[in-house]
């Protein structure tokens, strides 16, 4: 059953936010709406119509104000055309104030120009004092509510765009990533990727977002393969696992027996058997069989004892008659 909760996106690859559309009916994907946010009213595109309502956030859902009109769309385009000029003015003023650690990345107007946000990054860990810069920008743009918003290195790379570290024409974050997942060095280790900084860091200076793409698949594939340094038995002899190829389900084994010198060979998972299990079976087959006494339950033993007594008495009577 369709709910009144819809997903709205404000930029092409931006995060999806959910709103209550109870005041409007028959909203469809691709339509543009005006929504009420914590940062004022904004124009966004409907990209989701949820079948099931998720848990509401603290304070409840924000509402969809109305459908966007053609005039709203033209108004948004006109203000977006002024964003580059505003960002340049802010950069110039920051240079005059000698804010060396502050880099103004871009400026964003909302659809009607009522709000103007300057997005910046800061190289130092200390909090930058931007009171003078904000005051000057407010004097320069008196009709807009000016906001200074700090963003992280990954968001900076997303705004700037450009070629990815792997050679892709457009970075993943600028092309399709709507949110950033936590990345750890363990993900690179599990996939056998070199840990040199050039191999695992992106343009933003952080661990590459793509390290998470195949991480779960590698974990599942490794569950069916022997671990490194484990001894195995192959058709070429016994050896030691020195590396794994999880995505192709193959194992690299250093063959130490049956050859003049150790050689590394590649085997599929079906061609390799664990050495310890085979060795346990070999020892069991070589050991002498142990004679085990028959275990008889007490009640069965009692019945057998009674039967033996009856047989003895019967044989004794026959012996007496024979005399």
One digit per residue, the tens of pLDDT, for the chain of length 323 reads: 567 889 999 988 889 999 998 888 788 999 999 998 888 899 999 999 888 888 888 888 888 999 999 999 999 999 999 999 999 999 999 999 998 889 999 999 999 999 999 999 998 877 888 999 999 999 999 999 999 999 999 999 998 888 887 888 888 998 888 889 999 999 999 888 889 988 899 888 899 999 999 999 998 888 888 888 888 888 888 888 888 888 888 989 898 776 677 888 889 888 888 877 666 666 666 666 665 555 555 554 554 554 554 665 565 556 555 55
CATH number of 79-151, picked from 3.40.50, 3.30.1460, 2.160.10, 3.30.300? 3.30.300
Task: Tell me how far apart the alpha carbons of residues 21 and 4 are, in angstroms, rounded to a whole number.
Answer: 5
Task: Tell me how far apart the alpha carbons of residues 218 and 91 are, in angstroms, rounded to a whole number.
Answer: 45
Which residue bears the tokens 């765009």? 161
Domain boundaries, the chain: 5-68, 79-151, 156-216, 231-283
Find out whether 211 and 183 touch, Cβ atoms under 8 Å. yes
pTM exceeding 0.85: no
Q: What is the CA angle 225-230-233, rounded to 5?
A: 80
> Residue 184 is encoded by which pair of tokens?
């750890």
């Amino acid at each position: 059953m369709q709910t009144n909760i819809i997903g709205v996106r404000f930029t092409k690859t931006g995060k999806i936010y959910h709103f209550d559309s109870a005041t409007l009916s028959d909203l469809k994907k691709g339509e543009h709406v005006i929504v009420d946010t914590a940062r004022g009213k904004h124009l966004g595109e409907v990209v989701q119509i949820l079948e099931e309502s998720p848990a509401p956030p603290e304070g409840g859902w924000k509402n969809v104000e109305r459908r966007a009109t053609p005039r709203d769309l033209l108004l948004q385009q006109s203000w977006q055309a002024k964003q580059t000029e505003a960002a340049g003015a802010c950069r110039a003023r920051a240079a005059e104030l000698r804010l060396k650690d502050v880099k103004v990345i871009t400026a964003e107007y909302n659809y009607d120009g009522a709000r103007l946000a300057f997005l910046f990054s800061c190289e130092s860990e200390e909090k930058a004092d931007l009171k003078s810069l904000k005051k000057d920008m407010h004097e320069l743009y008196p009709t807009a509510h000016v906001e200074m918003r700090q963003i992280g290195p990954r968001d900076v790379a997303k705004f700037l765009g450009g070629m990815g570290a792997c050679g892709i024409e457009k970075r993943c974050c600028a092309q399709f990533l709507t949110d950033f997942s936590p990345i750890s060095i363990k993900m690179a280790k599990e996939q056998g990727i070199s840990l040199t900084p050039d191999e695992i860091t992106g343009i933003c200076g952080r661990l590459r977002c793509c390290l998470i793409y195949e991480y779960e698949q590698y974990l599942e594939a490794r569950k069916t393969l022997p671990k490194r340094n484990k001894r195995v038995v192959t058709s070429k002899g016994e050896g030691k696992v020195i590396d794994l190829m999880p995505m192709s389900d193959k194992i690299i084994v250093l063959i130490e027996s049956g050859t003049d010198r150790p050689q590394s060979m590649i085997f599929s998972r079906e061609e390799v058997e664990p050495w310890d299990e085979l060795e346990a079976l070999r020892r069991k087959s070589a050991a002498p069989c142990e004679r085990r006494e028959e275990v008889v339950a007490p009640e069965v033993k009692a019945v057998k004892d009674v039967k033996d007594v009856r047989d003895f008495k019967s044989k004794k009577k026959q012996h007496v008659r024979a005399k």
